[in-house]
Amino acid sequence: NAGVTQTPKFRVLKTGQSMTLLCAQDMNHEYMYWYRQDPGMGLRLIHYSVGEGTTAKGEVPDGYNVSRLKKQNFLLGLESAAPSQTSVYFCASSYSAGGEAFFGQGTRLTVV
Amino acid sequence: GNSVTQMEGPVTLSEEAFLTINCTYTATGYPSLFWYVQYPGEGLQLLLKATKADDKGSNKGFEATYRKETTSFHLEKGSVQVSDSAVYFCALSDRDSSASKIIFGSGTRLSIRP
């Protein structure tokens, strides 16, 4: 049982480059989330989805886009990376509203 | 909107000491409350949860009680171990399925000295 899998685990980008982070879950969860973790700031919600085909903005959505074409996958895109997007990104999923979240191992992204 | 405020760290204790990490929340309705733990280089893991007022969540010797009257969910452990060294996050999840999201506090780094 893989749970929540994020790819890649590490990435270095140059300013202005684009990339997509993939999150896959095999638990048939409806809800999926993308967070970024920065020192001293905890986890901040970027975007989330309450079901296949739906997405919504979180606390810090600017500079990111997401898609949820399949229930098991939630993609996070950076169209033009900036150094301020250097962070550790976590994907999570949960079965229902109010339910516990299951996390991936994280993606460490550095933008130079 | 919903928010979580937790005790700032870092917190350093000796082994077998008593631990309290404070957490208070602001929310409309009746959220579920959680404590997550993050070990170095890993993602977050659920430590314990409570879904309604006066519920007590417990796991691995940690406990937290959902206090609606004080909007708090403080984490406690009677005797900490070196292996408890980690970052602890308090979180809430609203149950309104039209806008369900999980909100985290800023995290508290705990270090236990042998």
Question: pLDDT per residue over B4-19, tens digit each?
Answer: 999 888 999 999 999 9
For range B92-104, the mean pLDDT: 79
Model confidence at A41, in pLDDT bands (50, 70, 90)? confident
Question: pLDDT per residue over B12-62, tens digit each?
Answer: 999 999 999 999 999 887 899 999 999 988 889 999 999 999 999 999 999
CB contact under 8 A, B32 and A99: yes
Q: How far is B114 from chain A (nearest CA, A)?
A: 26
DSSP state for residue A51 in the 8-state scheme: S
Question: pLDDT per residue over A67-104, tens digit each?
Answer: 999 999 999 999 999 999 999 999 999 998 888 999 99
| Chain A contacts in chain B segment 42-81 (CB below 8 A) | 42-46, 49, 51
pLDDT for res A86: 97
Find chain A residues with C-beta within 8 A of B45's C-beta.
103
pLDDT for res A1: 63
Nearest CA in chain B to A46: B101
Mean pLDDT of chain A: 94
Beta strands in chain B (DSSP E): 3-6, 11-14, 19-21, 23-26, 32-38, 44-50, 56-59, 62-65, 75-77, 86-93, 102-104, 108-113
Q: How far is CA A111 from CA A18, A58, A63, A83, in A?
A: 10, 22, 13, 5
Contact B21, B111 (CB under 8 A): no
Nearest CA in chain A to B106: A42
Question: pLDDT per residue over B72-96, tens digit each?
Answer: 999 999 999 999 999 999 999 987 7
pLDDT at B99 over 80: no
pLDDT for res B2: 86
Share of chain A above pLDDT 70, in %: 99
pLDDT at B100 over 80: no
pLDDT for res A39: 83
Q: Which two tokens stand for residue B79?
A: 């005797």
* 3-class SS of residue A54: coil
Q: Is B95 on the interface with A (CB under 8 A)?
A: yes
